[in-house]
Structure 1
Amino acid sequence: MMAAPDAFALPPRRRAERLSVAVVSELVELIVTGQLAENQLLPPEGPLSDYFGVSRTVIRESVKLLEEKGLVIVTQGRGTQVARSGSWNMLDPLVLSALIDNDESLGILDELTTVRASLESAMAGAMAARRTDEELTRVEHALQFMRDSQHESDAFRQADVVFHLTVMELSRNHLAENIAKRLYLRALESSRFHGLGYENAFQSTLDEHALVVDAIARQDVAAAEQAMSHHIVSSWQRRRFEPPRD
């Protein structure tokens, strides 16, 4: 008779690590919103420990995580200083989420659109340059899926996402795909990114996607790049609402 296997032993729970995640999340938001301004020194460990109600060990772990995200600079003898925003790792999920969630001016979404347009236009051009017949069929099917879904908002939106992800994948530019996908999928979680409805939204979106597919089919690199960039920028401009003024 075979002996019963040993039961799986759960590792010790790391309470300090879980606490540091919560502390980091709050500090990231304070930095991103400017409540802790660039070049400002964070309070010492003692006051931070009292403020968050955690040990100094948790504070040290939290500061280390902030440093890894590029949000702070730790200098011996000087303390912990908030880094310039240009040094932040804005692709870090926590940082990116905080930036988008607190983007009342829509400035971050404007910048995201510019970066996304640049990356996705390059990927559309790359696909046009070396697409196979099978790859062209895939992107044509993605466009047809959009056409078939145009009378149902949620399905159309999902079909739109599938189209863009398909072009990213078929570009074979894995670095651009990784960056653009991370920006795009996180932006989709924001109601500000979806913005306002506008007249003939389905048709204009379909027409712009069709221009991308046509250029890819003709293997016209410049046209594919221009069509994709124009679609991403103009679509955002049409649905972008004007933030309230103080």
Structure 2
Amino acid sequence: MSSDTRAAERSVAYPTIAARRPAPRLGVTVVAELVDAIVRGDLAPDSSLPPEAVLCEQFGVSRTVIRESVKRLEEKGLVSVAQGRGTQVLPASAWNMVDATVLSALVANDATLGILDDLSTVRASLEGLIARDAATRRTTEDLERLGAALQLMRDSLGDEATFSTADVAFHTTVGEMSTNQLAVNLVSILFGQARESARFHLHSRLETTLEEHERVFAAIEGRDPDAAETAMRSHIVDAWERRRPPNPRR
């Protein structure tokens, strides 16, 4: 590339990516910032990613880092690289929304909480299926482990942090009792991203949450898959409704 071409690229008013100073894992930081810019809409669908030289200058990294970062974006479905057309930003319908980086950016930039609403709905369906499977396959040892998590919830009603840990342990144990590992892994991704959001805070109605877990436990103990699925679905949906902050745009 000639110096005149590089100079011409730098003179074009490309959108500026709001980049933090890259940490030691340069590629990870660059990818996260570019994903955030695309999800936020700074780089609109069908627009072109700024040229390598511009991105190198904005992020303070080498061309190698930028090229590797663009490859990661392509793998996540956010961009398409075509000879002669450069790197095009793709619409949201092409994005891999269960990718941890993409999902994290979606949650962080979700002004209406619609993404967290959708996460709750999908998680409720998946965890309902997991609980159904657990109810048909549970062993005495499984039930003892699940009962221990439930007992810790009972014992920690006055301690939200400990209660939250026991809550997670309860759901993890139900997942371990199921053979549907695809559903379990998807729930792990969805719930992990939801819990990282500042808007997905622990509510104070711990007694209600405990009662919901008691119903799930009773259904699994009684080997009642229908009741286990219903109880778990209701718990996930109702728990999010209790957590959900007011939203004037809802």
TM range (shorter): 0.7 to 0.9
* Structure 1: unaligned runs, 5 residues or longer: 1-14
In 1, Cα distance between equivalents of 2:148 and 2:206: 17
- The answer for the alignment partner of 1:12 in structure 2 is none
In 1, Cα distance between equivalents of 2:29 and 2:141: 47
Deviations 1:44-92 (A, max 9, x none): 3333333333333332222111111221111222221112223222232
Q: Which amino acid aligns with 1:208?
A: E
In 2, Cα distance between equivalents of 1:63 and 1:26: 12
SS of structure 1 residue aligned to 2:87: strand
* Structure 2: unaligned runs, 5 residues or longer: 1-21
- The answer for the alignment partner of 2:238 in structure 1 is 234
Task: Count matched residues.
Answer: 227
SS of structure 2 residue aligned to 1:80: strand
Q: Give yes or no for the alignment of 1:202 onto 2:209.
A: no
Aligned partners of 2:137 and 2:177 also within 8 Å: no
In 2, Cα distance between equivalents of 1:61 and 1:181: 27
What root-mean-square deviation, in Å, do the aligned CA atoms of Structure 1 and Structure 2 show?
Answer: 2.0
Q: Give yes or no for the alignment of 1:73 onto 2:58.
A: no
Which of residues 142, 148, 172 is equivalent to 2:149?
142
Equivalent residues in 2 for 1:176-187 (5 A)? 176-187=183-194
Deviates more, 1:44-53 or 1:186-195: 44-53
Q: Percent identity?
A: 56
- The answer for the alignment partner of 1:63 in structure 2 is 70
In 1, Cα distance between equivalents of 2:141 and 2:60: 59
In 2, Cα distance between equivalents of 1:141 and 1:20: 43
Question: What TM-score do the two structures reach when normalised by structure 1?
Answer: 0.85
Aligned-pair distance for 1:159?
Answer: 0.8
In 1, Cα distance between equivalents of 2:149 and 2:32: 38
Equivalent residues in 2 for 1:77-226 (5 A)? 77-194=84-201, 197=203, 201-226=205-230
In 2, Cα distance between equivalents of 1:192 and 1:123: 26
In 1, Cα distance between equivalents of 2:66 and 2:189: 29
Q: Give yes or no for the alignment of 1:34 onto 2:38.
A: no
Question: What TM-score do the two structures reach when normalised by structure 2?
Answer: 0.84
In 2, Cα distance between equivalents of 1:188 and 1:219: 30
SS of structure 1 residue aligned to 2:207: helix
Aligned-pair distance for 1:164?
Answer: 0.7
